[in-house]
Amino acid sequence: MEKVFKKDDVFEVLIEDISSDGPGIGKIDGYTLFVKDAVIGDRCRVKIMKAKKNYAYAHLEEVLIPSSFRITPLCPKAKACGGCQLQALSYDAELKFKENKVKNNLIRIGGFSEEFIESIKEPIVGMDNPYRYRNKAQYPVGTDKNGKPTAGFYASRTHDIISNTDCILGKEKNKDILEAILSFMEKKGIPAYDEKNQSGIIRHILIREGFKTGEVMVCIVANADKLPYEEELGEMLFKMQGIKSVVLNTNKENTNVILGKKTKVIKGSETITDYLGDLSFKISAPSFYQINPLQTEKLYNKALEYADLHKEETVWDLYCGIGTISLFMAKKAKKVYGVEVVPEAIEDARENARRNGIENAEFFVGKAEEVLPSFYLNEDSDMRFPDVIAVDPPRKGCDEKCLETMLKMNPKRIVYVSCDSATLARDLKILCEEKYELKAWQCYDQFSRTVHVEVCCLLEQLESAKEHIEITIDAEDYYRIKDSEKETEE
């Protein structure tokens, strides 16, 4: 009779793998157990918490024989905090896990062979020190059981605050800043926000540092347009090392979104500056800016290498944010067009082009899947058939319409930067169906000690596709013919 697995059953199991979101995976008679906090190679005793037909979530009761990859987490709060998933795994094993995760997705979802994927892989780029790399920290603020204001991180899948003013992914100085604000709140009787009753004032504290400039921004998110004693708080913080900007963001909504729409300056400047390569960027509280600048620079240089620019090329940069990749490429290209859906980011991108004296980059607000086809359909545009298209979409990957138009635009090279290898693999399958070949891929560890990984890929037009275009000249005609062929076939 088939074995039935149920809640509270206890087993001894060897952890054989790591699931894509962190928990260890063990198997008993082909039945899968997901075990949080278990490390690949651990032999452990686990207890089933929730059993489904083919798998269960189990609690790690005891590590019986620890894995050779197991290390003691540097952060004492690692187990309770939902921020890092891989702190108990050695960093070498983490890098292998990440590369394998991407490889498996390219094989399973992308449909590439393992041999091929291995042959074009460039080794993962890890960090020398996989801690203290984040330039931005967002701490939720609450009240502890003694009634004192506290800050920290949410426990996995909840809004319970695990008090911790020294996250080891962020800078040491964040601790001084946070503790100064918490003790100011206590002294002046400024209450933390209470999500349940939607009462109280301070919701979050955001700290951002330009690593190259040392400029720090402190943004207090509050359920108020003005803080009690805000001038005094601003003066106090402004005396601390590096702080150039203290701002108040108002968020009175009952929402999980951290920032509200309105931000005002309490003391100093509205923005801070940072450099990526030799380009300077203006960063305001709501701007998207890569959180690991050291690795970002390496990633962008790889994207630039893959784009292979010699001042003659036309380039589209889709999902361009504040124009970081666009401006990196503009210095080596004839012309770059960036597309981004958030209007404020495009304003920043234009300002960033101006402040760096870059005149060959233009930016457009809108969805990539709408802006790109509108250019393609405009016969007068000289950006219909670019040499290179770079994409850096959010986790959900590229829209089908966007991929379709990219294929029609027929660039020589496509550079795909991705933060989710499953959607990357899905999109590569479409792009490589007939006209493109995956030439190289490389992982960048941008989010050390977490399960997330960034990938940079180069796609090149197939020789056969190049020939075809030379004969037909107009790619649109080519597609018209293809479409009519399809219709006759049907």
Asked if 320 interacts with ligand SAH (CB under 6 A), we say: yes
- Which segment (53-61, 95-103, 366-374, 463-471) binds ligand SAH by CB under 6 A? 366-374
Indicate the length of the chain as a whole number. 490
Residue with tokens 């790109």: 372
Please identify which residue in 288, 385, 478, 479 interacts with ligand SAH, judged by CB under 6 A: 288
397 binds ligand SAH (CB under 6 A): no
* Binding-site size, ligand SAH (CB under 6 A): 18
DSSP 161-220: EEE-S--TTS-THHHHHHHHHHHHHHHHT-PBPBTTTTBSSEEEEEEEE-TTT--EEEEE
Helices 400-409 and 475-489 cross at an angle (nearest 10°) of: 120
Whole-angstrom distance between the N-terminal and C-terminal Cα of the chain? 50
Decide: is 394 part of the binding site for ligand SAH (CB under 6 A).
Answer: yes
The residue annotated as part of the active site, out of 398, 419, 443, 457, is 419
CA distance linking residue 34 with residue 13, whole number of Å: 11
Which residue is nearest to ligand SAH, using beta carbons? 321
- Backbone φ and ψ for 59, nearest 5 degrees, come out as -95, 135
Work out the widest C-alpha separation in the chain, in whole angstroms: 79
> Pick from 432, 433, 89: which is nearest to 441 by CA?
432
Site membership for ligand SAH, residue 316 (CB under 6 A): no
Query: In the numeric block, which tokens belong to residue 337?
Result: 């067009």
CB of 381 to ligand SAH, least distance (A): 18
Half-sphere exposure of 227 (CA within 13 A, CB side): 33
The one among 303, 315, 325, 333 contacting ligand SAH by CB under 6 A = 325
Does 324 interact with ligand SAH (rule: CB under 6 A)?
A: yes
**Does residue 80 bind ligand SAH (CB under 6 A)?**
no
The residue (of 268 and 323) whose beta carbon lies closer to ligand SAH is 323
**Interaction of residue 37 with ligand SAH, rule CB under 6 A:** no
Per CB under 6 A, the list member of 107, 342, 462, 469 interacting with ligand SAH is 342
Using CB under 6 A as the binding rule, whether residue 290 contacts ligand SAH is answered as yes
Question: Can you name the residues that pair with 267 across neighbouring β-strands?
Answer: 246
315 binds ligand SAH, rule: CB under 6 A: no
Query: Is position 340 an interface residue for ligand SAH (rule: CB under 6 A)?
Result: yes
| Tokens 């597309």, residue located | 339
Q: Which stretch binds ligand SAH (CB under 6 A): 33-41, 317-325, 377-385, 408-416?
A: 317-325
Among 43, 367, 401, 468, interactor with ligand SAH by CB under 6 A: 367
**Cα(125)–Cα(248) distance, rounded to whole angstroms?**
37
| Cα(133)–Cα(126) distance, integer angstroms | 12
Q: Does 345 bind ligand SAH (CB under 6 A)?
A: yes
Q: Could you tell me whether strands 279-284 and 202-209 are parallel, antiparallel, or unpaired per DSSP bridges? A: unpaired
Identify whether 84 is a catalytic site residue. Answer: no
Give the nearer residue to ligand SAH in terms of CB position, either 165 or 442. Answer: 442
Residue with the two structure tokens 């793998």: 17
C-beta of 321 vs 386, nearer to ligand SAH: 321
* Shortest Å, Cβ 369 to ligand SAH: 6
Which residues form the interface with ligand SAH (CB under 6 A)? 288, 290, 319-321, 324-325, 339-342, 345, 367-369, 392-394
Active-site residues, by number, are: 419
